[in-house]
């Protein structure tokens, strides 16, 4: 069984390897700092009773320019939840852990949207493979970059995650 919880110092991050050095380095060097400073929240997946990180995502508040979103919105920055990083250890691939982490992130954003204004969840896909992963869940392109994607909270609500 997998547990997803906020990162703490007891989680073993050193052995994490998703195959992308910048994602490995973020988890090891910066996730704890960002957590303590309130810059982002990192959630880690572990097997029950274990501390080794098998996957993680980081979520924070952000905004995008109104003209990047295809919908007709007020001419103000659009409040969004940013899933800045999402990665799965190479040993945990094929277990749908990426999907589990994404659904957890979407549910977290949906809960936050009930309290503060959040129009969508935004991601910056690293490459076409990552983009295709997000497209399967209904994400759409923003107009500035084909790897800059968003999923409206109203769509998340309809998904009944």
Tell me, yes or no, if 134 is annotated catalytic.
Answer: yes
Spatial distance between the Cα atoms of 128 and 134, rounded to a whole number of angstroms: 10
Query: Catalytic one among 26, 57, 134, 137?
Result: 134
Q: Are strands 78-88 and 55-64 parallel, antiparallel or unpaired?
A: antiparallel
Residue bearing tokens 């919880």: 5
The partner residues of 104 in beta bridges, in order of sequence, read none
Neighbours of 99 (CB within 10 A): 13
Which residues belong to the active site? 134
């Amino acid at each position: 069984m997998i547990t997803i919880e906020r990162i703490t110092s007891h989680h073993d991050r050193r052995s994490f390897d998703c195959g992308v050095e910048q994602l490995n380095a973020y988890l090891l060097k910066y996730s704890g700092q960002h957590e303590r400073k309130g810059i982002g929240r990192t959630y880690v997946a572990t097997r029950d009773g274990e501390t080794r990180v098998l996957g993680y995502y980081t979520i924070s508040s952000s905004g995008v320019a109104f003209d990047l979103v295809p919908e007709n919105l007020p001419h103000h920055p659009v409040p969004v939840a940013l899933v800045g990083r999402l990665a799965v250890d190479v040993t945990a691939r094929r277990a749908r852990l990426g999907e589990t982490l994404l659904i957890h992130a979407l549910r977290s954003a949906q809960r936050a949207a009930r309290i503060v204004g959040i129009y969508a969840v935004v991601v910056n896909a690293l490459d076409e493979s990552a983009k295709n992963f997000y497209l399967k869940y209904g994400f759409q392109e923003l107009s500035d970059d084909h790897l800059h994607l968003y999923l409206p909270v109203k769509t998340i609500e309809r998904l009944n995650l």
